[in-house]
Structure 1
């Protein structure tokens, strides 16, 4: 009986040492930086246009069609590059797409996310991509950055539509965590 009592006491002591905290600050201390949402109006977020070539800064996926490369610029759109001379590729244009993080292609059609919309381009003439279709609300939306285990400013929908996230120094720990 004494041994059973000692065992019960030991279990209680060990169990009292185990914590199941939902507070991320215990496992992920705040390092003075966090993500801040970048807002746009609905009109600006929906604006998709082919513009002059832009420098690559955060390239993502690449699709090859004949002598052309389509290179995703994380959060901003898609570069169109003439690669007919692989030693001297020429950045020829940029498809500006707010909130674009992913793309796929089949044949001469390029599919890309535009926040929660799916946009389809005819790229049969890569020098002149044409927006052919927009499918509204085809992509699940999120109110958090595309990275995990980070602190971020909570989204305030009255400020507009979140079109991206920027990592910035912050004086105090934000209230949101993912």
Structure 2
């Protein structure tokens, strides 16, 4: 006997992740790099330790700076707001960070008062979605975005 009417015909949920880019106007984007008071870690990424300082990336947001003289009790010093940041490196007193497609160089010789030492526009590819092979809806395709906008992150739709 066939019980076809008893079979659950609920469609399977769409398991393909869908994301939309978080955009920022280029002019606002370039002025957004700044030192701010320390704040809590939410979505930490890469960690870099140099001398007595600890740098922890906050994905898409920037970099936390800690005084790590006592590794058992690191002290939060600053948060470096860098929109679109996912990676960092330190060489001497310079911190190199991606900011969306740009490479930003920060002078960290005084971590309490960090300053931008340079920026190279479009040195890197556009910030990619968190998963490979994500299909973007037509309205989110690069050709359909506002002119002079930069991808600084991705959010799940």
TM-score bracket for this pair, using the shorter chain length: 0.7 to 0.9
1:39–1:128 CA distance, 2 compared to 1 (3 A): same
Query: Counterparts in 2 of 1:49-128, with a 5 A limit?
Result: 49-128=34-113
Q: 132, 144, 154: which one pairs with 1:148?
A: 132
Moved over 4 A (4+): none
Question: Would you say the 8 A contact 2:108–2:115 is kept in 1?
Answer: yes
SS of the residue 2:28 aligns to: helix
Q: Distance in 2 between matches of 1:118 and 1:32?
A: 31
Q: TM-score, length-normalised on structure 1? A: 0.69
Please tell me the root mean square deviation across aligned C-alpha atoms, in Å. 2.1
| Residue 158 of structure 1, CA deviation | 1.8
The structure with more radius of gyration: 1
Residue ranges of structure 1 left out of the alignment (5+ in a row): 1-28, 169-178
**Distance apart, 1:94 and its partner CA:** 0.7
State the SS of the aligned residue for 1:30. Answer: coil
The answer to whether the 8 Å contact 2:19/2:129 transfers is yes
Give 1:48 deviation, angstroms. 0.7
Contact 1:103-1:112 at 8 Å conserved across structures: yes
Q: How many residue pairs align between the two structures?
A: 139
Cα gap change, 1:34/1:129 in structure 2, threshold over 3 Å: closer, same or farther? same
SS in 2 for 1:127: helix
2:23 is the counterpart of 1:39:
yes
User: TM-score by structure 2 length?
Assistant: 0.78
CA deviation map 1:71-103 (0-9, x unaligned): 111111111111222222222111111111111
